[in-house]
């Protein structure tokens, strides 16, 4: 690694903006996740946040298709596949290009389904 003469490498986690980095990272992640096209403005994010989608209208699970894995209604596309694409950093636009049968509502339904599973509590 090249280093300038007399320059000290900055230590990770130091500096005036060190406390801002995690918040910035989260906001960029949220922007990519909700907007589907790289980093966006706050107005675009707000618009996507207001998209209310009930996952129960878009996701089904029947034993005769995909052995009961949750899938998008009317397709053989499992929810786990869409969530995997999102986790890998693909944008909504890329996913829609890869799967022309999907819509923005389908992707939002997958995210809502994942949120519902994360909030699920087991009775003890």
Q: Which domain holds residue 76?
A: 60-119
Report the CATH number at residue 98: 1.10.10.10
> What residues of the chain score a pLDDT lower than 50?
1-4, 7, 17-18, 20-26, 30, 33, 36-48
Instruction: Dig out the tokens for 31 from the structure.
Output: 């922007």
Q: What is the pTM of this model?
A: 0.58
> What residue has token string 């990519």?
32
Nearest to 104 by CA among 91, 114, 87: 91
Q: What is the pLDDT of residue 37?
A: 44
Please say whether the beta carbons of 53 and 112 come within 8 A.
yes
Please say whether the beta carbons of 72 and 120 come within 8 A.
no
Percent of the chain residues topping a pLDDT of 90: 52
Query: Is residue 14 in a domain?
Result: no
Return the ∠ at Cα 13 (arms to 9 and 14), rounded to 5°: 65
């Amino acid at each position: 690694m090249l280093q300038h003469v007399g320059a000290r490498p900055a230590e990770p986690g130091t500096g005036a903006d060190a406390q801002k980095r995690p918040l910035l990272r989260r906001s960029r992640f949220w922007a990519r996740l909700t907007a589907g096209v790289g980093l966006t403005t706050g107005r675009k994010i707000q618009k996507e946040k207001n998209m209310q989608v009930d996952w129960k209208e878009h996701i089904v699970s029947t034993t005769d298709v995909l052995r009961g894995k949750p899938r998008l209604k009317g397709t053989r596309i499992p929810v786990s596949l869409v969530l995997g694409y999102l986790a890998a950093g693909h944008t909504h636009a890329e996913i829609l290009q890869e799967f022309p049968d999907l819509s923005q509502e389908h992707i939002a339904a997958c995210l809502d389904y994942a949120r519902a599973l994360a909030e699920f509590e087991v009775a003890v």
